[in-house]
């Protein structure tokens, strides 16, 4: 009888650890979602029919869509220079991407509060310049949430975009130029389509991140534009309805799982680049 090689002993601890601390407790969440307050699928029915919960889901989807579109476009613009710029440009852009990336989400959300709140820097300036007479409300609403999330997610979109752009064959661009295509045409008809897999990857990463995002919306939304993740927090800790919080979690998990499966399907056939 073949015995397991000794190196299997190396793999087992982390797997055991994750199963014990993560998979089994997640089954507990599943159980909450079908037993609290009473057995049955009532909480899922509520989650998919209650107007309040539905409006939270709709807002979450809307914000995620806007954030994905904005963050990926912005990341595309800056990554272009990171990959194809002059050495000085590359260095400058790299620092602009890496420094925010390493700074905590709380500090970054606080920076936006300092800029955008009613007594913040932008309002103070615009009022003293006479552009505004009343402070413009830019946080504690959806605008603030979108700005904060886009800021957080640009670096995450930049990494997959950069690897797609690095794989583009310079000669294809030169050939197009040689045959008389202008800059704009080379970019729009050759370069962008050649990086399509990176755009899709970046969009999925950003969307999946945004879907379960909690901290930035909670700080910059100020309790007004509640998203799905904050709804879970509120249902667990503030107006307890553990079953509903658990059901919303399971729905989020399924949504993310479905999107990751989609990503794997798209990536695996591996069209030659």
Partner 1 sequence: MITRPGRLAACLAALVAVFLLMPLIAVIPVSFTPNRYLSLPEGDWSLRHYRALLENPAWIRGTALSIGIGVASSLLATTLALAFSLGIWILQPRHAGVLMGIALLPMVAPPVVSALTLYFFLITLSKINNLVAYDTWAGVALAHSVMIAPFAVVLITVALAQVDRRIDMAARGMGAGLMVRVRSIILPNIRFGLLSALLLTFVLSWEEIGVTLFITSVNAVTLPRLMWMGLRDNIDPAIAAISVILIFIVVVVILAKTVWQHAAEGVQK
Q: C-beta of 68: minimal distance to partner 1 in Å?
A: 15
Closest CA to 229 of 59, 81, 49: 59
Please give the Cα distance from 57 to 71 (Å, whole number).
Answer: 21
Dist. CA 56–CA 30, nearest whole Å: 21
Coil, helix or strand for 72?
helix
User: Which one, of 27, 200, 219, lies nearest residue 108 by Cα?
Assistant: 219
CB 116 within 8 A of CB 147: yes
Peptide bond into 37 cis (omega under 30): yes
226 is an interface residue for partner 1 by CB under 8 A = no
In the set 232, 234, 244, 247, which binds partner 1 (CB under 8 A)? 232
- Select from 38-46, 49-57, 130-138, 231-239 the region that touches partner 1 (CB under 8 A): 231-239
- Stretch of residues binding partner 1 (CB under 8 A), selected from 35-43, 49-57, 194-202, 243-251: 243-251
Instruction: Tell whether residue 84 is a contact of partner 1 (CB under 8 A).
Output: yes
Minimum distance, C-beta of residue 271 to partner 1, in the bound complex (Å): 21
| Angle at the Cα of 245 from the Cα atoms of 240 and 246, rounded to 5 degrees | 125
Task: Strands of 137-257 (E only): list them.
Answer: none
Report residue 145 as tokens.
């949430």
Q: Please report, as residue ranges, which positions from 117 to 156 form the binding site for partner 1 (by CB under 8 A).
A: 117, 119-121, 124, 151, 154-155
CA distances from 44 to 49, 141, 239, 259 (A): 9, 28, 18, 20
Nearer to partner 1, 124 or 197 (CB): 124
Binding residues for partner 1 restricted to 100-119, rule: CB under 8 A? 100, 102-115, 117, 119
Binding mask 33-72 for partner 1 (x = CB under 8 A): ----------------------------------------
* Burial class of residue 105, CB neighbours in 10 A (0-12, 13-18, 19+): middle
Closest separation between CB of residue 142 and partner 1, Å? 18
**Binding to partner 1 (CB under 8 A): which residues in 206-225?**
208, 211-215, 218-219
Q: Which is nearer to partner 1, 171 or 271 (CB)?
A: 171
Is the CB of 52 or the CB of 88 nearer to partner 1? 88
Is 167 an interacting residue with respect to partner 1 (CB under 8 A)?
no
């Amino acid at each position: 009888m073949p015995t397991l090689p000794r190196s299997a002993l190396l793999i087992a601890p982390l797997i055991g650890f994750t199963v014990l601390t993560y998979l089994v407790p997640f089954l507990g969440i599943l159980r909450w979602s079908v037993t609290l307050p009473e057995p049955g699928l009532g909480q899922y029915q509520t989650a998919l029919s209650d107007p309040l919960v539905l409006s939270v889901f709709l807002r979450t989807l809307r914000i995620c869509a806007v954030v994905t579109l904005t963050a990926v476009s912005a990341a595309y613009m800056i990554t272009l220079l990171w990959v194809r710029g002059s050495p000085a440009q590359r260095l400058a852009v790299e620092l602009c991407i890496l420094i925010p990336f390493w700074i905590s989400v709380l500090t970054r959300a606080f920076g936006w509060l300092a800029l955008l709140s009613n007594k913040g820097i932008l309002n103070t300036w615009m009022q003293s310049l006479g552009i505004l007479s009343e402070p413009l409300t830019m946080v504690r609403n959806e605008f603030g949430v979108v700005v904060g999330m886009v800021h957080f997610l640009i670096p995450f979109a930049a990494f997959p975009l950069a690897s797609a752009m690095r794989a583009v064959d310079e000669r294809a661009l030169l050939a197009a130029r040689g045959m008389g295509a202008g800059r704009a045409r080379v970019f729009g008809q050759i370069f962008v389509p050649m990086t399509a897999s990176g755009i899709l990857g970046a969009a999925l990463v950003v969307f999946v991140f945004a879907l379960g995002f909690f901290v930035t919306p909670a700080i910059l939304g100020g309790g007004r534009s509640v998203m799905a993740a904050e709804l879970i927090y509120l249902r667990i800790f503030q107006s307890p309805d553990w079953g509903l919080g658990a059901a919303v979690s399971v729905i989020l998990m399924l949504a993310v799982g479905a999107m990751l499966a989609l990503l794997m399907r798209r990536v695996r056939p591996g069209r030659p680049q």
